[in-house]
Amino acid sequence: MTELNETSFKETVDEIVANHHSFLRRELPKVTELMEAITHDIDGEPFAEAKQLFAKVRNKIEAHLKDEESFLFPTGIALETGSQLPECEIDLLERLAEMEKEHDGCGNALTTVSGMIEKLPESDLKVQLLAKIKLVQNDLDVHVEKENSGVHPRFLELFKTKPQKQ
Ligand SMILES: [Fe+2]
Ligand SMILES: [Fe+2]
């Protein structure tokens, strides 16, 4: 049960999915597109590395969002509302710990990618790409803060009430 004036787990995660997850799904492909556009102009070794690193981060973020939306968030909502728990094929506590590491890791990896892009010769595309990555990082900071300080502790509390399997 939630106390009066306390935002429910469902309200919190619904807002995160609507604002931050949809933001990432919209903006990450745009970063990839900009990176592709630059590759056609410049064929440098450091840039190939930046492209590879970004592709890795994007995959990690997309898998992370999927696990939150498929398992973590629905389980928290079900525990909060007392409804039937969704089928879950992963160890949620283990995944939650891993997700906290990914929250830091993805932001740091994006900083590394930007550092690599900085080394490219000046161009409009470079400016656009750096600005886009900065936009993603700024939103990610807000998103991660909401999850680390709100969603995760609340999930752990709710998880303690989880009925044991027979
Ligand atoms: Fe998230
Ligand atoms: Fe997350």
What digits encode the pLDDT tens for the residues 50-103?
999 999 999 999 999 999 999 999 999 999 999 999 998 899 999 999 999 999
Cα(161)–Cα(164) distance, rounded to whole angstroms? 9
165 Cα: distance to centroid of ligand 1 (angstroms): 28
72 Cα: distance to centroid of ligand 1 (angstroms): 10
CB under 8 Å to 53, separation ≥6 — which residues?
109, 112, 113, 116
Ligand whose nearest atom lies closest to the CA of 102: 2
53 closest CA partner among 106, 92, 94, 130: 106
* 16 contacts 155 by C-beta, under 8 angstroms: no
39 Cα: distance to centroid of ligand 2 (angstroms): 30
Note the pTM of the prediction, 2 decimals: 0.91
